[in-house]
Amino acid sequence: MCGINLIYAFSENAPPVDREELLRTRDSMSRRGPDAVGEWHSPDGRMSMGHRRLSIIDIDESGNQPMTSPDGRYAIVFNGEIYNYRELRRELEASGLHFRTTSDTEVLLAMFARDGERMLMKLRGMFAFCVWDARERTVFMARDPYGIKPLYYALTPTTLRVASQVKALLAGGGVSRTLDPAGIVGFLVRGTVPQPFTTYEAIRALPAGGYAIVDRHGSTAVHRYFSLAEVYREGVERSHDVKPAEWQEIIREAVRESVRYHLVADVPLGAFLSSGKDSTTVTALAAEAGYKELTCVTIRCAEFVGTKQDEVPLAKLVADEYGVRHVVRAVTREEFTADVPRILAAMDQPTIDGWNSYYVNKAAGELGMKVMLSGTGGDELFGGYSSFRKIPRFVRAARVPSKVPGLPAAVDHLYRAVRSSKSSPKSGLVLRYCGTYAGAYLMKRGVFMPEELPSVLPREIAEEGLRRLDLLSHIRGALTPDPGSPFARVATLESSYFMRDQLLRDIDWTSMSHSVEVRVPLVDAHLLKKIVPVLCAARDHKKLLLLGSPARPLPDAIVRRPKTGFLLPIRQWLKPPAGSEHTFGMRSLALMLAEQLMTA
């Protein structure tokens, strides 16, 4: 896991690359890669690459980056891990290629030199990388199918700049800091900035499952090579081909295989162990795969002891059952208060989530761990959220009345006239939004609704942001083509937005702030393709199929435990002083972060 950056001065009118800017950008990401640093410059001074390394595979100096091809045509900077690199290497060696290192980076570079963008779906892993082609004078950029690893770019009429973090591009000093109303509005509505937007006009995220080519004239072509909607649609079409008697074995083999691939490393591994079904299953499968030295970390807060939110008792039960080391890390209000400035500084883009992830990664870093497994993605894959039940229900109920002329507006007007101060301001908008999956999803996951923004933002920012973001069209884009069933539509939306834009992004910045790599075996395009027909065929109790993956049954207390989520008592820790008339919640946090951004 690493921090990567580059500057390409493609225009003849641009000065050569400012190497000091390259290093400022690179070294602002020092926590992403404390083990080694590297830089590479083209002979004409028009292309420069930087790299900060967290050594996981081939940990000696031969794996350092930037890395060049033997003929000097290509240079690469790569952030991530390719779990099937050994298989790919054997395939390349069979065709006559020879390797200088044992790193996945060299395999990735050789695959690109041979196959170009056709190699992307052969890669099993999480990745963001850039390849410079000295002959064609082009930059090729790509991200993994789910967008686990970030990649941001800023393109002017003369220069391309790329980095793993938004703040790194700003730290270089060559990118405009003008705020983007679309990013700010998107954050207040969603609680996270929706990709490809950022909070800065000049900076965009390369789409998940996408690649881009920037040529010597600065022309940029962005392409998609992976579509969740298409995969789920194919799953619905193939769902009739799998028999119920086959479901468990298909899930078991595919999930076990994914976990085995995610254990590939040349350093010790650990796991985040809550009392939830997903992290418990991943931990059990890692132990059953022979990785008995696993170090598991559980967070405990005094405020939760003795309640259903206390993760420790059941986590300890699982650790004992599978014979893995278990570390309980206490987090206090005092520590949180002291850490808030550090958390905000590490937060690459504003988010209302990620605080819990910060502390499990902090605990892993304190233990000297470099790699941790996480159960993130299980709810999106196996339908664990209430949204899988509620959103189809909302759409069925609202589809017809939402089309009655004037009725949605009348319901909203009546609701605002009679609602109490404690009721949700969103409820009156049910008919306006819930007649479609895109609108119902916005209602379910929204922090603020678009209609509220002119009252909490300067009106011109709210209106411009809403116009450019075009939220409903943005969400409908994820459902094109139609995934084909209620489950498939919600799974596509949750994976495309909540997981990609919030959970995965929060995992990245919180883990990297402690120099820890987090792996997510349940977020894997190869896994999804193998099991999607079963997921689309099984109407209920999909999580039981996941829980049936370990050879040794999970403790019954885990199987029966209701979903509670992985939480810290943030509301208690950030609540106003006693006697205040105000309450603190996610909306308050979102407003605080937006105000901080706009006044910085």
| pLDDT tens, N- to C-terminus, the chain (600 residues) | 699 999 999 999 899 999 999 999 999 999 999 999 999 999 999 999 999 999 888 777 878 999 999 999 999 999 999 999 999 999 999 999 999 999 999 999 999 999 999 999 999 999 999 999 999 999 999 999 999 999 999 999 999 999 999 999 999 999 999 999 999 999 999 999 999 999 999 999 999 999 999 999 999 999 999 999 999 999 999 999 999 999 999 999 999 999 999 999 989 999 999 989 999 999 999 999 988 789 999 999 989 898 888 999 999 999 999 999 999 999 999 999 999 999 999 999 999 988 889 999 999 999 999 999 999 999 999 999 999 999 999 999 999 999 999 998 988 888 887 877 667 778 889 999 999 999 999 999 999 999 999 999 999 999 999 999 999 999 999 999 999 999 999 999 999 999 999 999 999 999 999 999 999 999 999 999 999 999 999 987 889 999 999 999 899 999 988 876 667 887 778 765 554 444 557 788 888 888 888 887
Residue 582 confidence (pLDDT): 47
Query: At 319, which amino acid appears?
Result: A
CA–CA separation, 472 vs 477, rounded Å? 9
Dihedral angle computed from the Cα positions of residues 93, 96, 100 and 105, in that order, rounded to the nearest 10 degrees: -50
β-pairing, 74-82 vs 159-163, is unpaired
CA dihedral in degrees (412, 416, 417, 423; nearest 10)? 130
Q: Give the separation between CA 30 and CA 51, rounded to whole angstroms.
A: 10
The CA-based diameter of the chain, rounded to the nearest angstrom, is 76
pLDDT given at position 575: 67
At residue 1, the pLDDT reads 67
CA angle 408, 412, 415 (to 5 degrees): 140
The answer to whether 567 and 301 have CB atoms below 8 angstroms apart is no
Q: What are phi and psi of 226, to 5 degrees?
A: -145, 135
Q: How far apart are CA 375 and CA 354, in angstroms?
A: 15
Which domains, ranges and CATH numbers included, belong to the chain? 2-226 (3.60.20.10), 229-383+485-587 (3.40.50.620)
d(CA 106, CA 586): 44
DSSP 160: E
Evaluate whether 545 touches 534 at the Cβ level (below 8 Å). yes
Length of the chain: 600
Place of tokens 């162990």: 273
How many angstroms separate the CA atoms of 172 and 169, rounded?
5
The two beta strands, 269-272 and 371-373, are: parallel
Strand partners, 128: 79, 143
Would you state the structure tokens that stand for residue 355, as one six-digit string?
A: 């605080």
* 569 DSSP β-pair partners: none
CA 137, CA 216: separation in Å to the nearest integer? 6
Q: Which two tokens stand for residue 126?
A: 């999480």
Which pLDDT value is given to residue 16? Answer: 94
Give the integer Cα–Cα distance in Å for 587 and 141. Answer: 36
DSSP E strands: which ranges in 83-207? 125-133, 138-143, 152-155, 159-163, 203-205
Give the DSSP H or E segment for 113.
Answer: helix 104-115
Tell me what pLDDT residue 578 has: 53
